Structure 1
Amino acid sequence: MNADPNDTHAVYERQATEYDRRRSKALFEARWLARFTASLKPGDRVLDLGCGSGDPIARWFMAEGFDVTGIDFSDAMLAIARDRWPDGDWRNADMRSFELDQQFDGIIAWNSFFHLTADEQKDCIARMARHLRPKGMLMLTVGPRAGEVSGTVGSELVYHASLSPAGYAGCLEKNGLQMTGYLAEDPEAQSHTILMARKI
């Protein structure tokens, strides 16, 4: 039985401290982060969508000199980020409904986007496209195939979903984005499936 997508927020509220404790800070993501920022420059604006505690993804971008805005819907997760970086731009918002009065040079949703249902993901891609500047970069972790599965956060089950690679390519194209990279279950990134795209 799959987890209920409506439970995701409550799970993160309950498991924030445990999730942060268990979350790898070794930056196995670094190769992808470097690829993502290859066309960006220090000072560019990056939106970390589903930023959680800010560690290690937002931390990496800040250390590299980017202007980072972190969005998450969990107050408990954001409290950890604000405690670590009191001067950071941490905002409580839901990736399914966020509306910001600015555009970004890059948007990343690492280990967050896949908690949305398939239809919510399609809507979110359109929302992200509107928040990207022309030539802006997008990077998501997704599933390797279409379907719904359950993962874990701390000791609790949590919902995951994915479109097919072709489904993502079509949705990106519909929203003025072009897929520039896709690797299913990358063995050098703890088997994460990574998608990259650029706004046309």
Structure 2
Amino acid sequence: MFSPQGPSLRELAIQALSSVERGYDLLAPKFDRTPFRTPESILDATADALRPLGPFGRGLDVCCGTGAGMRVLEPLCQEPITGVDFSAGMLAQARSAHPDAEWVRADARALPFAEAFDLAVSFGALGHFLPAERPALFAGVYRALRPGGLFAFPIGAPPPITSGWYWALLGFDLAMRVRNAVWRPPFVMYYRTCPLQAVRDDLTAAGFTVTTAPLTALGRREVGSPRYRLVLARRTSP
């Protein structure tokens, strides 16, 4: 699961017992050599789905981490692109890999932008927000977009109950709930708290018009539905 250059078990344990911000500061130098980084296949499928909808002006990667999403924004946006994250360590890695992009340290629940971007993306970040925090996140992205701007992010279909992944993700979430019940500060990261319908409802409540596009390049489930969809949330024009 981890490359030899990735974090050790001890390093992962220290990270898991830290806050989210401190944990990612510690993990940042080795993050791209862990399975937590968004796979290239998901980045490529997202870029392919967005290309017919562009080109775009300014782009924003919400919870950018080490900057993997820049691979999506760079060819699609004709104006400067920006990454925002609250981990200084992750931003340092991102800045080193993409020196021409702009980087902002901020909490995604209180984004400091107003009508500045035409496209916003996010990868693998929703699990860091409790359901009660999603309205603030989505409201901030809505404010950050210009009228007609687009917020896009991939979301995976839940694995069937007969799948080993179903029980692995369930076990992870239960372990995190026990950890957060007995240890402070909390480390918020859950895999089963952002089903598509709940996310769609929260986006709609924030003012977005929401559609989805199947990312068929990432395969289909046994029932024939796509394994991943790209959520396309459009800020309506005034």
Band the TM-score falls in, shorter-chain normalisation: 0.7 to 0.9
TM-score for the superposition, normalised by structure 2: 0.66
Contact 1:51-1:70 within 8 A present in 2 as well: yes
Matched, 1:159 2:173: no
Contact 1:106-1:136 within 8 A present in 2 as well: yes
Matched, 1:178 2:187: no
Any gaps of 5 or more consecutive residues in structure 1?
none
- Where relative contact order (Cα < 8 A, 6+ residues apart) is larger, the structure is 1
Any gaps of 5 or more consecutive residues in structure 2?
1-15, 159-169, 177-186, 221-226
Paired AA for residue 149 in structure 1: D
User: CA, structure 1 residues 19+193, in 2 after alignment: closer, same or farther (shift >3 Å)?
Assistant: farther
Flag the structure with larger Rg: 2
Equivalent pairs counted in the alignment come to 189
Matched residue SS, 1:28? helix
Give 1:109 deviation, angstroms.
1.2
Contact 2:63-2:84 within 8 A present in 1 as well: yes
Over aligned residues, Cα RMSD in angstroms?
A: 3.4
User: CA, structure 1 residues 28+174, in 2 after alignment: closer, same or farther (shift >3 Å)?
Assistant: closer
- Which residue number corresponds to residue 71 of structure 2? 59
* Alpha-carbon distance in structure 1 between the residues aligned to 2:174 and 2:97: 30
- Which residue number corresponds to residue 45 of structure 2? 31
* Alpha-carbon distance in structure 2 between the residues aligned to 1:27 and 1:166: 24
Residues 154-198 of structure 1: CA distance to partner in whole angstroms, max 9, x if unpaired?
Answer: xxx8612534433222222222212210669x8449x65642222
Paired AA for residue 48 in structure 2: A
TM-score for the superposition, normalised by structure 1: 0.77
Residues 140-163 of structure 1: CA distance to partner in whole angstroms, max 9, x if unpaired?
Answer: 345656x993799xxxx8612534
* Alpha-carbon distance in structure 2 between the residues aligned to 1:80 and 1:60: 17
Of Structure 1 and Structure 2, the greater strand share is in 1
Matched, 1:7 2:31: no
User: CA, structure 1 residues 75+151, in 2 after alignment: closer, same or farther (shift >3 Å)?
Assistant: farther
Contact 2:62-2:108 within 8 A present in 1 as well: yes
- Which residue number corresponds to residue 48 of structure 1? 61
User: CA, structure 1 residues 144+117, in 2 after alignment: closer, same or farther (shift >3 Å)?
Assistant: farther
User: CA, structure 1 residues 32+141, in 2 after alignment: closer, same or farther (shift >3 Å)?
Assistant: closer
* Alpha-carbon distance in structure 1 between the residues aligned to 2:189 and 2:29: 19
Contact 1:36-1:137 within 8 A present in 2 as well: no
Paired AA for residue 233 in structure 2: A
User: CA, structure 1 residues 31+193, in 2 after alignment: closer, same or farther (shift >3 Å)?
Assistant: closer
* Alpha-carbon distance in structure 2 between the residues aligned to 1:151 and 1:20: 24
Contact 2:49-2:213 within 8 A present in 1 as well: no
Match of 2:96 among 65, 74, 83: 83
Matching of residues 102-121 of structure 1 within 5 Å: 102-121=115-134
- Which residue number corresponds to residue 20 of structure 1? 32
Matched residue SS, 2:108? coil
Contact 1:114-1:141 within 8 A present in 2 as well: no
